[in-house]
Chain A
């Protein structure tokens, strides 16, 4: 009877691994460590960008902002001279409303998958953004036009029609867990796990892949390129850890998801911040968040330490043996 219950409702096993659930995250971490008044800093990508600028954190190049309906007509003019760009709602969440134009040729626009997107559709998308279709609660919004990111060469074999981004969960200034999200055909070039992207957990000491999932199931090779995932190592890992610490410091949020990208020329850049980071990172890492969060909570000293020290703390304590993938592959 007991065994059957444990099989049906594996609460005990999940507690042993330290899986953080949605309710636990909301009550014990988000509402306790993230003060409401700081949310706008991360919910509005424009504010995040300004903040990053003040703190010397690199972000993708801003081409322009469209904030009024009558400016929507100016989009073609605005992006002139750029051979690719991306439109983002400033207050969008979960990757909603992001439109990537990978190529501009003679005033014609093409998506990442090569299909043309007519100017009128581009303008409709902008009006939708302004009307608040993608923002939380439908509040009026502005559209940010950013230059495209050229992903680091490392990712060439691990990515299909999109930019891989690195999510680091930073707790009280200490990076506790990280994964890289690889877009693939199944996710339509999007790097969101619930849309079918591949999530690869990373060892905090080396930036090496430890384990990977797609749609909650383990995977060992990239579904489109066929490249084994265990060889993936994120370059400049320590710079990246320190950057994520710095991002947490500039917002003041205690439980934060930092999304970073590796640009070929400009190195690690801040893509966006998330005050309610999801739980899928645990699936990608094959382990729970709770032991790491409790480790940080048990050490109030490290919370007040400098960026370098905190990054080192993360590397020392949260490095995982790169065994899970290698064993099978």
Chain B
């Protein structure tokens, strides 16, 4: 008999809409963030997080930092390091950031961020100075003979410095005995450089980051940089694959160390990266990304990068939730588990659509088969679901191994699916199957997948990603929409079908 106060409700909705619209407009006007991802350049923000434990004395930390390079132009650098003095040191081409403090104790965290603008035009440009070629003269010994043999084999099958490098790595992978003998003396990278030098090719081992949007806790990989005159190519020293230059950011390229810490222990560097679309006009004006954050700038861009990458995903969830609500309240689609479609859609974003879809169907189908056997065993519910969870893990492991053996590395992405969700899906579907028959399983399973697909399309759309990440005010707008949707008392689309006989009879 309680009648909710409509006025208060609509005031709340209006307030949310107003606040959301104002924040969005404010961000648009003040920070010149465009509403559409239009004429813009891609900027990779890469953040290095240095952690170490200071031992209560003077501390110096020196981190190799990148500079402009073919394909990437350094447009801004920021550091966060409370209490530390900072200097950028340049030493024959190698740039390093050096932090120093008189006394520090306990856990220390230092941040360094570089904004690199993707510049495809310079990607094929010449590079400065190749490293000098140093020919080492070896006086016999089993290693020298073995190395000479490898080089000879590789040279016979190659035509230029790049093919020589590739064949050399191939030799190392093929002649495992010899490779092991050589690697006892020094790491493979150094051998490759030495042998290439021997053949008159300039090369060095550099540290590079594989760029992928939204990655956290990444480590740089060792890459072989091989020069052909004034150009160069990058090779993975394990697989011999030539690297995509557009996706590899050279971080340290003077064969120096990545990080030196004096006065601390347990030091480590982790990288987080995020891809931003920045309008050209703003870059022309400011030259760099805005560093200072305004009080009213309710954006998550003031957070450290690793948190930003998290939020880039989290802020998409309301979009998925809104779609699920719309589908259930307005369309009347039945899904199994209220928000399971959102979780599936999130998994699809990680796995890419086709892989995710195939993987999901395979795992659920295999799970249903196992579950149909379990239902004969007369287990208690909790134990049965736990069994299903373990089965799901085994199935996922089996599929990963299988697809890897078949050479389908895409299949490995199946591990991105939340296992508990998969297990519950299987359990529910199985009960549904037993009680209502396979048709209902198809209806609800299909409904969930359909909603998940729509949510995936929306959540992976560039405009949606751009809007949710750049305009926090839109979250309030979505909240208001949800409130209104929650008050919709009209018919659902599915009810037009359901009640049609009534209309036709009357």
Question: Which residues in A have some Cβ–Cβ distance to B below 8 Å?
Answer: 8-11, 13-14, 16-17, 19, 21-24, 27-28, 32-33, 35, 69, 96, 120, 123-124, 127-128, 131-133, 138, 195, 213, 216-218, 254, 282-283, 286-288, 324
Contact = CB atoms under 8 A, between A and B. Distances in A.
Nearest to B489: A24
Given A8-B496, A23-B491, A24-B491, 19 more contacts: A10-B496, A13-B506, A14-B491, A14-B502, A16-B506, A17-B502, A17-B503, A19-B502, A21-B490, A23-B488, A23-B489, A27-B488, A28-B489, A120-B378, A127-B378, A127-B381, A131-B382, A217-B501, A282-B499
B487 interface: yes
A23 B501 contact: no
B2 interface: yes
Contact of A287 (B2, B329, B332, B506): B506
18 contacts: A11-B491, A11-B496, A14-B499, A23-B491, A23-B492, A28-B489, A32-B3, A123-B378, A128-B381, A131-B382, A133-B431, A195-B436, A213-B501, A216-B498, A254-B1, A283-B499, A283-B501, A283-B502
B495 interface: yes
B136 interface: no
B186 interface: no
Contact of A96 (B1, B2, B435, B489): B435
Contacts of A217: 501
A286 B506 CA distance: 8
B496 A131 contact: no
B294 interface: no
B292 interface: no
Interface residues of B, number: 29
B505 interface: yes
Nearest to A12: B503
A161 to B, nearest CB: 18
A23 B506 contact: no
Contacts of B500: 10
A17 B495 CA distance: 14
Interface in B421-470: 431, 435-436
Nearest to A217: B501
Contacts of A283: 499, 501-502
A195 B435 CA distance: 10
A286 B498 CA distance: 13
B490 A24 contact: yes
A216 B418 CA distance: 39
A218 B500 CA distance: 12
B291 interface: no
B159 interface: no
Q: Determine chain A's interface SS by DSSP, over half rule.
A: helix
Contacts, number: 88
A282 B496 contact: no
Contacts of B503: 10, 13-14, 17
A11 B490 contact: yes
Given A14-B499, A96-B435, A23 B378 contact: no
Contact of A133 (B381, B488, B490, B498): B381
B8 interface: no
A18 to B, nearest CB: 10
Contacts of B380: 69, 127, 131
Q: Which of A23, A27, A33, A213 has the most CB of B within 10 A?
A: A23
B8 to A, nearest CB: 16
A22 B332 contact: yes
A229 to B, nearest CB: 16
B420 to A, nearest CB: 14
A14 B506 CA distance: 10
Interface in B200-235: none
A17 B506 contact: yes
Contacts of A11: 490-491, 496
B367 to A, nearest CB: 17
Interface string B43-70: 0000000000000000000000000000
B506 to A, nearest CB: 5
**9 closest cross-chain pairs (CB), A and B:** A131-B381, A21-B491, A124-B378, A24-B489, A13-B503, A10-B503, A27-B489, A23-B489, A19-B499
B506 A9 contact: no
Interface in B1-37: 1-3
Nearest to B499: A19
Nearest to A282: B502
Contacts of B501: 213, 216-218, 283
Contacts of A282: 499, 502
A132 B381 CA distance: 8
Contacts of A288: 502
Contacts of A28: 489
A9 B498 CA distance: 11
A21 B378 contact: no
B492 A22 contact: yes
A152 to B, nearest CB: 29
B1 A287 contact: no
A198 B499 CA distance: 16
A33 B3 CA distance: 9
B502 A33 contact: no
Nearest to B4: A32
B336 to A, nearest CB: 14
A96 B432 CA distance: 11
Q: Which of B2, B380, B499, B500 has the most CB of A within 10 A?
A: B499
A119 B96 CA distance: 77
Contacts of A17: 502-503, 506
Contacts of A8: 496
Contacts of A9: 493, 496
Contacts of B495: 14, 19, 21-22
